[in-house]
Chain A
Amino acid sequence: MTHPDNPQDPGNPQDPPHSRSLQHPASAPDPATTAPPSGTTDGPGARDTSRRTGSGFGRVLVLVYGIFAISATARASVQLLRDWHEAPVAYGLSALAAVVYVVATIALARGSATSRTVAWTAVGVELVGVLAVGAWSLLDPATFPEPTVWSGFGVGYGFVPLVLPVVGLTWLWRTRPPQNSTSRPKDTA
């Protein structure tokens, strides 16, 4: 997995060593990387403008994407290499899902301008994919004799695959660079 500490990002210096385990209100000069001092909930909506996509709440998001990338890749590998003939369409879509998760994980973890564009595209494809495959699997169950990540809108994974792209797109929007603050980002793809 890409290491998160990107020294090229000028707006987000490394966390100072004094914040190892507790946030000290008196010594928190960096509002971009330091949690609010008074226990304020810093959820996805709080002061995230121009923050890196892979830190703060984004770190949890990247972890969940990473877990889905690993598990979808593992599942798709077994399905394609061993059981390809059983359900080619379903297993092909499994592989597509795996690729999308891998790309989204790397792009969200990197968080550069290019990665942001890639992340918009990957998470967008993910949302379309889970909706399309979810609907398809319900209308035509014969094509999906074995479950995939996206069949039944991700019911086998507690509907996390359905919620994840919505959270991902929201997070990308919340952390968008400030120069795009009044208009839609041109790289929405």
Chain B
Amino acid sequence: MVLPLVLLAVALCAALTGWAGWFVARDRAVVLKQLWGGAVIEGVILLQMIVAGVLAATGSSAGDPVKLWGYLITALFILPVAAVWAFAERTRWSSVVLAVAAITVAFLEWRLWQIWTA
């Protein structure tokens, strides 16, 4: 249950990074559709939080709960903040911002997986 969710989030982040990267190459700024893509990733992170909460409630959770929740909460906040920050810029650099944010969330998901399986 946990590994598919992490892989799904990483795959979506990779897709969003590619999309934003394509916009960088085309010299375009972030568009609203891309933020909906980010919202899908947010949904997956929320799902991970529910799973983590259920696992903790049933006593079957593994890993360091403080670190686990620290990474989950950090991952949840990266894309919304980056979206606001990117949308205020109407040059290609806004697309770079979105790509960097998506890469960061993918990295956090990888760390999350390490903590979850520790």
Residues of A within 8 A of B (CB): 1, 3-5, 15, 19-23, 33-35, 39, 42, 55-57, 59-60, 62-64, 66-67, 70-71, 74-75, 78, 82
Contact = CB atoms under 8 A, between A and B. Distances in A.
Nearest to B108: A71
A56 B96 CA distance: 10
Nearest to A2: B85
Contact of B28 (A22, A59, A70): A22
A78 B90 CA distance: 37
A56 B91 contact: yes
Interface in B85-118: 85-86, 88-94, 96-97, 100-101, 104
Nearest 10 Cβ contacts at the A-B interface: A15-B90, A35-B91, A60-B96, A19-B90, A4-B88, A59-B89, A74-B70, A63-B97, A59-B93, A21-B29
Given A74-B70, A78-B67, A59 B94 contact: yes
Given A60-B93, A82-B66, A5 B100 contact: no
A82 B85 CA distance: 33
A35 B93 CA distance: 9
Interface residues of B, number: 27
A63 B85 contact: yes
B70 A20 contact: no
7 contacts: A1-B81, A3-B88, A5-B88, A42-B92, A59-B88, A60-B100, A67-B78
A56 B29 CA distance: 11
A63 B100 contact: yes
Given A39-B27, A62-B85, A63-B97, 14 more contacts: A1-B81, A1-B85, A3-B88, A23-B27, A23-B91, A55-B89, A60-B93, A60-B96, A60-B100, A70-B77, A70-B78, A74-B74, A75-B70, A78-B70
Contacts of B84: 1
The B contact surface, by secondary structure, is: helix
A64 B100 contact: yes
Contacts of A3: 88
Q: Which of A23, A33, A63 has the most CB of B within 10 A?
A: A63
Interface string B11-51: 00000000000000001110100000000000000000000
A57 B66 contact: no
A19 B100 CA distance: 22
A119 B86 CA distance: 21
Contacts of B86: 59
Given A60-B100, A74-B74, A78-B66, A20 B27 contact: no
Nearest to A22: B28
B93 A66 contact: no
